[in-house]
Amino acid sequence: MEIAALVSGGVDSSVVVHRLKEMGHDPVIYYIKIGMEDKDGYIDCPSEEDIEIVSYVAKKYGCRMEIVSLHEEYWDSVVKYTIDSVKRGLTPNPDMMCNKLIKFGVFEQKWGHQFDRIATGHYATTTEEGGLTWLSTAKDSVKDQTYFLGQISYLQVSRLMFPIGDLLKSEVRAIAAEQKLPSAQRKDSQGICFLGKVNYNEFIERYLGRQEGLIVELETGNILGKHQGFWFHTIGQRKGLGLSGGPWFVIKKDVNRNIVYVSKGYDTRHQYGDQINLQGFEFITKDVWGDFTDEKEITFKIRHTPDFTRGRISRIGDLYRIQSEMPVQGIAAGQFGVVYDSESRLCLGSGMII
C-alpha cells in the first residue's frame, strides 16, 4: 500500500514510521505546518526543532519527506471557529476540528487522496465489523485519543491507520529509545494544537480584548470580585479566578451582561449534572439505531479523560439526550459529547453540547 505518514516530531508519530517499516511499508512522511497566522502575519508555533527531528526520522528510515503548509486553511477553519465560539460564550474544541477539517480534511484533498492510507500517531484503533470500518479505542486507556477523533466521517476513518494503537505509551517510548530516536524522551505536547507556546489567555486577548465584568456567587448574588472578560473563563474552571475562601468553580456565564457566576467547591448542585443534550449528532460509521423511541445503553465522554461514563441515550426530535448513570462535572455548551458502545470499544459518533 501507498501510505502517507503524518509526523509531527513527537515520540508517537516517530514510532509510527518505525512500525510501518517493520510492516514492510515505505511511507511518505508529511510534516504539516499549521501554526497560528492571521492577516498581520502573526505566527508563533515554533517548528524548527520539530522539522529537524522529522528530517532525522525520514533519513534514518529512508523515507521521502515533504513539508506542507496549511496555515491559511487552518486560520479560516479552526482558529476562526475557536474565536467565534469563545465570543459566543461557548467552550470550543479546536483539536477535534483540526482532525476533522485539516489533518483528515484539507490534507486529504490536497495530498492524501494520492495514497491508500493515512497513518498517524493517535492512540486509537480501527475495527472491521459487518463489512464496515469502525473507529475503536486504544490499548492504552489513559492515552486513548478517540475523543478527539469523534467528529471524523466514515470516509476519513476508512482510510486511516493507527500503527501505535495497540501499544501502551511505555512501549512506544521503549521502542523509541531502542531505535535511538531523538524524540524518545521528549515530553508530550499539551494544550490546543495551534497555540504552540502561546498562552491561551494572551491569544484570546489579542482577538477579543478585555472588558471588566463582575464575578458573582450563584446562590447569593454577592459580588465576589471582577474579571477581564467572560471569554477568559470556561465552565468548570477552578484556577485563575483570583478569589479567596474557595475553591470556587465557574458555573455559568451571562454573555450579554458579561457576568461570570461561581459556586463553592462543596456545592455540587450546580457543578454537576446527569443530563446532556447533543445537537447535530453525527455517526461515524453508520446510524446504529435508526428511528428509535426507547433508550440505548451507551458509554460516553464529554472531555478527554481516561474514564468512560455509563448512561442511556434517547432521541427527542433532532436532539440526542444522554442520561448519565452518575453526575458529571463541567458540562459545557460548545464542547462535544462523544458516544461509544456499552463496552467502550467502538466510537459511534458525537454531537455538540447545548
DSSP secondary-structure letter at 78?
Answer: I
The three three-digit cell numbers of residue 77, written as one number: 477553519
Quick one: 165 exposed, middle or buried, by C-beta within 10 A (0-12, 13-18, 19+)? Answer: buried
What amino acid occupies position 310?
R
Quick one: 38 exposed, middle or buried, by C-beta within 10 A (0-12, 13-18, 19+)? Answer: middle
DSSP secondary-structure letter at 344?
Answer: S
Identify each DSSP E strand in the chain by its residue range. Answer: 3-6, 28-33, 65-69, 117-119, 125-129, 132-136, 160-161, 213-217, 223-227, 248-254, 259-264, 272-283, 296-301, 309-316, 319-329, 336-340, 347-353
Taking CA atoms, 342 is separated from 96, 144, 216, in Å, by 23, 17, 40
Q: Is 79 left (phi over 0), alpha (psi -120 to 50) or beta?
A: alpha
Question: Which has the closest alpha carbon to 349: 310, 312, 320, 308?
Answer: 320
Match 493515512 to its residue by C-alpha cell: 118
DSSP secondary-structure letter at 116?
Answer: S
Residue positions annotated with a catalytic role: 98, 193
Helix (H/G/I), strand (E/B), else coil: 280: strand
Helix (H/G/I), strand (E/B), else coil: 101: helix
Neighbours of 55 (CB within 10 A): 16
Neighbours of 37 (CB within 10 A): 19
Q: Is the dihedral of CA 183, 187, 191, 196 positive or negative?
A: negative
Match 455548551 to its residue by C-alpha cell: 333
